Structure 1
Amino acid sequence: MLTNIHPKLPMRNKTLTRDYYLNMLGFELVGSADYEDYLMVKKDQIELHFFEFKDLNPKENYGQVYFRTDNIDDFYQSLLAKKVPIHPAAPLQVKPWGQKEFALLDPDNNLLTFGQSV
């Protein structure tokens, strides 16, 4: 039986990725081991893994994750307070499919969409 999922996304620079997720989005490191070309972070019940891909062209990266939340308004406001850039085409809005959503692009152009049912 499936119990959880940990998406794996590409990263070019572990230091930049770690800084973005920890300091901008409020994630924390997972585990005590520090692997040179791998990173694991978590926030609440969500865990993301990153693998090093130094030759990644961010303009050609199609990595995407959809996060469900139960308090999208507060989370969105906390990101604005930290001056986290919101995707210019995806500010907080109610979508026709019944989700309130917004999106971000991380340093490697992985699309992070956050949504809550309305």
Structure 2
Amino acid sequence: MIIRWIERDWFACRQHRIAARKGKRMLKSICPIFPSRDFDTTAGFYENLGFQEVSRYEAEGYLILVRAAVEVHFFRCPGHNPASSDHGAFVRVDDATALSKRFEPKNLPGMGIPRFEKAEDKPWGICELAIIDPDGNLLRMGHIMEA
């Protein structure tokens, strides 16, 4: 079952790249929209991971952070409870292990909220790491392992 999913996923990604080269790409990207209790805290946390703040709309309660081609959006939610957060996104990366090694010196905790879980090979064929931000939002980052 897992192998079939990976094969389908790889095929879909390959088909998407082919369509993009032919100028047939209609969908460009997806950006998660996470809750944030405090934009300054959120921006500081993600800036430590290499993201840059590109837009902040105080009146509308909206924040946008970017690292390379990855955009993460946030809406102001002062009453959000990080311990019960169910918000998350998966980010495909070229090498989760190398990225994990870059995040290790940031000295993020290994337990609690926020936290960083080092990259490891998962039984479903993905090498992935996990970052939980101060609001309990989950970012998994990974790549498909070679067979």
1:83 aligns with 2:122: no
**Structure 1 residue 56 and structure 2 residue 103: aligned?**
no
Say whether the 8 Å CA contact 1:10–1:50 is kept in structure 2: yes
Partners of 1:91 and 1:78 in 2: CA distance: 10
Tell me which stretches of 4 or more aligned residues in structure 1 moved more than 2 Å.
Answer: 84-91
Equivalent pair of 2:117/2:130 in contact (CA under 8 Å): yes
1:104 aligns with 2:128: no
Structure 1 gap segments, 5+ residues each: none
2:33 match: 8
Matched, 1:116 2:143: yes
2:122 matches 1:95: yes
TM-score (norm 2): 0.72
CA-to-aligned-CA distance 1:56-107 (integer Å, 9 cap, x gap): 1111210101111002222111111121234679432111111101111100
Change (3 A) 1:116 1:40: same
Provide the identity percentage.
34
**TM superposition score normalised by structure 1:** 0.88
Aligned partner of residue 101 in structure 2, secondary structure: helix
Name 1:69's counterpart in structure 2.
Answer: 93
CA separation in 2, counterparts of 1:91 and 1:29?
Answer: 25
Bigger radius of gyration, 1 or 2?
2
Q: Distance in 2 between matches of 1:76 and 1:89?
A: 9
CA RMSD between the two structures? 1.7
- Greater RCO (CA < 8 Å, at least 6 residues apart): 1
More helix per residue? 2
Given that 2:109 and 2:116 are in contact with CA atoms closer than 8 Å, whether structure 1 keeps it comes out as: no
Amino acid at match of 1:45: A
8 A contact 1:86–1:104 mirrored in 2: no
